[in-house]
Amino acid sequence: MDRSDFYKYSIGSGYPFSEFFFDQEHYDYECSLEEGLYFAFRAKKAAEPHVGVGKATDLFIINKGEKPIIITTKSDKIKLLDSYYTIDKENSQKFRNGLYGKIKEEIIK
């Protein structure tokens, strides 16, 4: 097999939280590049509320035989990811609000 078990890595004081996020969300090395990138971004955002984790985000993607992908905190790409994340969070909240109504009507009554 031509792969490494090194497929995700977080640094800094938010490390335990982002690792937990990757595990909780069932991330593994077979995820697509797009899914992995968004996983990493979501993990970072999930870690931000914890002490010592800043807002700045740099993402580095290294694939064997390919040019590394480097996305820095001031890039337009991070801004796009942040806008996608905001939409994702809003949609999740709308879903949960609808779910709470169903729970109230169908389970609590």
pLDDT at position 13, please?
A: 57
Task: Kindly report, residue by residue over 6-64, the tens digit of the pLDDT.
Answer: 445 555 655 566 666 667 766 676 778 888 888 888 888 888 887 778 889 888 888 77
pLDDT at position 16, please?
A: 63
Task: Tell which residue, 89, 75, 82, has the closest CA to residue 41.
Answer: 82
pLDDT at position 1, please?
A: 38
pLDDT at position 108, please?
A: 94
pLDDT at residue 91 tops 60: yes
CA distance 60 to 47: 18
